[in-house]
């Protein structure tokens, strides 16, 4: 869609992407660019407005600069207007919003009582869409955001008067559906449900959202809309979007995938930070770790972990910063520092730039470092760079979005909070600090630039990690591979049970409702009755408790913790409960828009951290200890030298200390103890053990056992979606040369969700097929030492070290030789 009139016109970039890249490369004696991919521009294919589109709506779009739509927009809008469920899965900036706005707004104009519900995974995206719909100035629509930031005084007005409500699945789950009686009029007239960026709903989170949508359909039917609303979904390019959208909604969905919009050319560079002397102190504030050698990793009290999300959702992910207990032998310049310099250089050249950083702390560090560099060159220029992340107050987020839209800001360092379809018109460059984990995310982030139709530059800065190193030296793995499919499983009983409990709390379940919730619903309801959660009566199944079921869709690890300035009582922001132990412990340095604070105290019971402003010359890095213990064995297979087990495990994590490090050099000043409670995840795991003798007989040297098991663990996690409908981010893993509970070399794969999610059970039931596919994937990969296609993991907590590809094949050969089919 065209620029809104209150935004700064994009205009041509100050310098071309090619010239800008040339200037950036000149900073280094050795060229850091390993590959440049030229994504050519594409000419658009317009189509006439559909005959059913009201003239008033066409005129509104014309005022916004949209003279004619593109063919894929018309195709998707026509299907939706004919009341067919549709998903439009096209590239970034292809105008997917018009594809759902057109039929929805046309229906609202034709039927003065009809309503529309829009769902976005983030508040920023919902706010952006609110601006877009409101700017059309369609009389009587009265669009409004209804989320956790909405003042209570406005909520009643929205329920009664808004006909286009924008919210998120969390608010639908926690607020709208439990209060469905207050929304009865809106639900009775609900014509369309728009599910934006639906590829985000994957894994356990996506499975939860799938049932939230089924609960929405159920309430619409209860209030008299028997046919139900029409679902219009928008997705980034993904594998088999129709099937994924069908699983999400429980309905047959038609996919529109041919992108007919024009696309500006993109110059995409793969950038490897330069090597530094081992003892160099020039690496900047966040040295990149090198893990301990395999001889140290082989000790019995060490463990190798991989597979994300973290066992305790919300804990900070690796972002190029040293992990607890790692050696600090600097090999390459920090990706964070390199990203900060690139951001400063592009802003100095007058190029609007967005830098994506994997962690919140990393985003603050990049923004602060870029501001400092710019102010040294041109005093005051640093004010045109800011950080953007979750945890900011609503007013701050909206002001940052406005400043970037209007050109007051030239650079922004953001977490993936801005990855989704927020219309950031005028950006000419994107810098991506570290591979984001999937090709879908990579292209989403790169697509944030060039939305104005001008040529754009995208740069992927590799972290000093084998995965990133592999990608920047194997561009075919980035540019030649298909985008991943969206994986979710609504039949997962660990999700289905809590969601059926929520549905019963909203209104008694009936036999007809069980058909709506799909396979396994009858058996799950019977289990809930047996457990005492539901009571069966002739009229249905009733929720037995006064309080509602506590179901967390995203698994973020508890209520957010408020960050409060002790002297003034001013609320600075929030940190999710899962990250508080790492980011808000006593003595932690907390960054907020370039201002540094030190934490005085953390009260987990009250959910509050008190801080005071201070500019120390050191940063803080929490150190945690994680262990796994076997609680019980549900089932096992004795296969001689190999054992296969399914059971419950406790994964325990505790932040025990923190390091203070010099900002300038990364030098460790000291390590200070902390007294924080341990956090425990009781979940379900599948694991196999091998006798040391069998490994020696297979040719695995004892010193290589940790790398062999670690590589096998990574590959097994990557291949588990073949037999269990899951996402690798829902799975955790651990491997060790000697585990105290098994007293043998062991590989664990566990569900990263409390109580389990069913994935380990499926892996156990299909272990031979699963592990044979794992072995074949490793053996058939053309790489020599291991790569992301076989044994490297994008979320490895140990930096993909140690890994031994050939020994992993030997390990799996031993397992498969002995394990029965």
How many CA atoms lie within 13 Å of 536's alpha carbon, on the beta-carbon side? 9
The pLDDT tens digits for 249-269 are 999 999 999 999 998 889 999
CA distance 45 to 532: 59
SS3 for 355? strand
Concatenate the DSSP letters of all residues of 416-427 into one string.
GGGTSS---TT-
CA distance 788 to 809: 16
Q: What pLDDT, on a 0 to 100 scale, did the predictor assign at position 379?
A: 93
Antiparallel, parallel or unpaired: β 642-662 and 618-639: antiparallel
377 contact partners, CB below 8 Å, separation of at least 6: 344, 348
CA distance 807 to 812: 9
- In this structure, what are the phi and psi dihedrals at residue 701, rounded to the nearest 5 degrees? -65, 140
List, for the chain, all residue ranges whose pLDDT scores fall below the cut of 50. 1-12, 279-330
Rg (CA), the chain: 27
CA distance 75 to 85: 12
Q: Quick check: 249 and 220 in contact, CB under 8 A? A: no
Kindly report the number of other CB atoms within 10 A of residue 517's CB atom: 24
Q: What pLDDT, on a 0 to 100 scale, did the predictor assign at position 316?
A: 42
Nearest Cα to 624, choosing from 667, 673, 589? 673
Q: What pLDDT, on a 0 to 100 scale, did the predictor assign at position 125?
A: 87
Q: What pLDDT, on a 0 to 100 scale, did the predictor assign at position 786?
A: 87
Any idea of the CA torsion for 213, 415, 606, 549, to the nearest 10 degrees?
A: 10
CA distance 54 to 49: 9
Q: What pLDDT, on a 0 to 100 scale, did the predictor assign at position 688?
A: 98
- In this structure, what are the phi and psi dihedrals at residue 72, rounded to the nearest 5 degrees? -70, -30
Q: What pLDDT, on a 0 to 100 scale, did the predictor assign at position 306?
A: 33
Quick one: CA dihedral 494, 498, 499, 504, positive or negative? positive
CA distance 163 to 108: 8
CA distance 748 to 735: 6
Angle at 254 between CA 502 and CA 92, to 5 degrees: 90
Helix (H) or strand (E) holding 230: strand 230-235
Which residue is associated with the tokens 């539901």? 534
At what angle are helices 394-406 and 123-135 packed, to 10 degrees? 50
SS3 for 433? strand
SS (H, E, C) 618-643: EEEEEEEEEEEEEEEEEEEEEECCEE
- In this structure, what are the phi and psi dihedrals at residue 108, rounded to the nearest 5 degrees? -65, -35
CA distance 670 to 659: 6
The pLDDT tens digits for 411-463 are 999 988 777 756 666 678 999 999 887 788 888 888 888 766 688 999 999 98
């Amino acid at each position: 869609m065209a620029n809104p009139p209150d935004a700064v016109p994009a205009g041509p970039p100050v310098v071309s992407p090619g010239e800008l890249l040339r200037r950036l490369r000149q900073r280094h004696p050795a060229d850091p660019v390993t590959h440049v991919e030229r994504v050519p521009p594409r000419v658009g294919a317009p189509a006439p407005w559909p005959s059913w589109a009201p003239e008033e709506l066409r005129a509104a779009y014309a005022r916004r600069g949209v003279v004619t739509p593109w063919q894929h927009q018309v195709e998707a809008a026509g299907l939706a207007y004919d009341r067919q469920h549709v998903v439009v899965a096209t590239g970034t900036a292809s105008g997917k919003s018009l594809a759902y706005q057109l039929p929805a707004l046309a229906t609202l104009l034709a039927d003065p009582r009809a309503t529309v519900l829009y769902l976005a995974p983030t508040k920023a995206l919902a706010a952006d869409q609110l601006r877009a719909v409101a700017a059309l100035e369609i009389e009587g629509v009265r669009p409004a955001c209804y989320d956790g930031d909405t003042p209570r005084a406005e909520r009643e007005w929205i329920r009664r008067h808004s006909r286009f409500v924008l919210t998120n699945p969390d608010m639908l789950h926690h607020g709208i559906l439990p209060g469905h009686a207050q929304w009865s009029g809106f639900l009775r007239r609900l014509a369309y449900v728009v599910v934006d960026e639906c590829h985000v709903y994957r894994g356990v989170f996506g499975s939860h959202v799938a049932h939230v949508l089924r609960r929405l359909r159920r309430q619409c039917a209860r209030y008299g809309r028997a046919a139900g609303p029409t679902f219009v979904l928008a997705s980034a390019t993904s594998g088999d979007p129709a099937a994924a959208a069908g699983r999400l909604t429980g309905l047959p969905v038609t996919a529109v995938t041919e992108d007919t919009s024009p696309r500006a050319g993109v110059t995409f560079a793969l950038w490897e930070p330069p090597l530094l002397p081992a003892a160099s102190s020039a690496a900047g504030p966040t040295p990149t770790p090198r893990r301990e050698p395999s001889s140290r990793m082989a000790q019995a009290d060490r463990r190798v972990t991989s597979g994300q999300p973290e066992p305790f959702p919300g804990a900070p992910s690796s972002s190029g910063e040293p992990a607890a207990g790692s050696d600090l032998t600097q090999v390459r310049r920090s990706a964070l520092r390199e990203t900060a310099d690139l951001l400063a250089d592009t802003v100095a050249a007058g190029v609007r730039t967005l830098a994506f950083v994997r962690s919140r702390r990393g985003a603050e560090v990049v923004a602060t470092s870029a501001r400092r560099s710019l102010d040294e060159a041109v005093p005051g220029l640093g004010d045109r760079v800011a950080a953007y992340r979750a945890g900011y107050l609503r007013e701050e987020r909206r002001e940052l979005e406005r400043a970037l839209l209007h050109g007051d800001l030239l650079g922004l360092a953001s977490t993936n909070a801005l990855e989704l379809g927020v219309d950031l018109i005028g950006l000419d460059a994107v810098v991506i600090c570290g591979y984001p984990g999937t090709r879908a995310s990579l292209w989403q982030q790169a697509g944030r630039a060039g939305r104005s139709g001008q040529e754009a530059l995208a740069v992927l800065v590799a972290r000093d990690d084998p995965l990133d190193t592999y990608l920047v030296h194997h561009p075919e793995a980035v540019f030649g591979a298909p985008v991943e499919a969206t994986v979710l499983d609504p039949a997962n009983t660990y999700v289905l049970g809590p969601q059926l409990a929520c549905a019963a709390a909203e209104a008694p379940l009936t036999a007809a409702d069980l058909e709506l919730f799909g396979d396994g619903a009858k058996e799950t309801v019977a289990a809930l009755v047996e457990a005492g959660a539901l009571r069966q009566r002739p009229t249905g199944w009733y929720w037995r408790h006064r309080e509602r079921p506590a179901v967390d869709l995203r698994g973020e690890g508890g209520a957010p913790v408020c960050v409060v300035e002790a002297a003034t009582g001013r609320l600075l922001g929030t940190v999710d409960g899962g990250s508080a132990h790492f980011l808000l412990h006593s003595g932690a340095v907390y960054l907020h828009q370039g201002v540094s604070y030190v934490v005085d105290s953390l009260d987990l019971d009250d959910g509050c951290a008190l801080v005071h402003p201070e500019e120390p010359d050191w940063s803080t890095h929490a150190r945690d200890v994680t262990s796994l213990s076997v609680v019980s064995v549900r089932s096992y297979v004795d296969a001689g030298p190999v054992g296969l087990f399914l059971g419950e495990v406790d994964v325990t994590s505790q932040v025990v200390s923190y390091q203070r490090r010099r900002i300038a050099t990364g030098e460790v000043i000291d390590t200070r103890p902390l007294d924080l409670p341990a956090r425990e995840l009781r979940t379900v795991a599948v694991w196999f053990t091998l006798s040391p003798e069998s490994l020696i007989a297979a040719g695995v040297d004892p010193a290589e056992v940790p790398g062999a098991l670690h590589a096998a663990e990574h590959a097994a996690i990557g291949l588990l979606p073949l037999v269990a409908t899951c996402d690798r981010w829902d799975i955790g893993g651990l491997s060790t040369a000697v585990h105290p509970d098994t007293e043998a070399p062991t590989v664990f794969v566990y569900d990263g969700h409390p109580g389990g999610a069913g994935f380990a059970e499926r892996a156990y039931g299909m272990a031979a097929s699963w592990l044979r596919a794992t072995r074949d994937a490793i053996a058939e990969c053309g790489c020599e030492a291991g790569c992301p296609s076989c044994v490297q993991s994008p979320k490895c907590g140990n930096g993909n070290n140690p890994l031994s590809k050939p020994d992993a094949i030997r390990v799996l050969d031993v397992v498969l030789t002995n394990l029965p089919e």
